[in-house]
Amino acid sequence: MLIQLEHWSEAIEYLESAIGKQCKKQKEEALFLLGMAAYHEGKFAQAHQAFHQARKCPKLSRQADNWLEMVNNKNQFGF
């Protein structure tokens, strides 16, 4: 819900607290969402780390790779 409303900082807080409490599949999905929220907050190192972990899930690997490419482009061009 926080992601849909684009409440990125609140989403980051919620997801960080929830990640340790989730089963493996839910944890990977939460990491993916954390990556999205961190990206939109300009926290590219945190986004990179979250997407890198989320890509271990076969269902999310392609999407996570796409987001990682965007994060890397932001870092490369200094945004």
Domain presence at residue 1: no
Q: At what angle do helices 44-54 and 61-77 cross, to 10 degrees?
A: 160
- Are residues 27 and 60 in contact, defined by beta-carbon separation less than 8 angstroms? no
What's the rounded Cα separation, in Å, for the pair 32 and 39? 11
Whole-structure pTM value: 0.79
The CATH code of the domain that includes 19 is 1.25.40
Domain presence at residue 3: no
What's the rounded Cα separation, in Å, for the pair 79 and 72? 10
Residue 68, domain extent = 8-77
pLDDT per position as a tens digit, 38-48: 999 999 999 99
Domain presence at residue 2: no
pLDDT per position as a tens digit, 2-36: 666 677 888 888 888 878 777 777 888 999 999 99
Domain presence at residue 43: yes
- Number of domains composing the chain: 1
Domain presence at residue 39: yes
Nearest C-alpha neighbor of 5 from the set 45, 44, 40: 40
Q: Please, which pLDDT band fits residue 37 given cuts at 50, 70 and 90?
A: very high
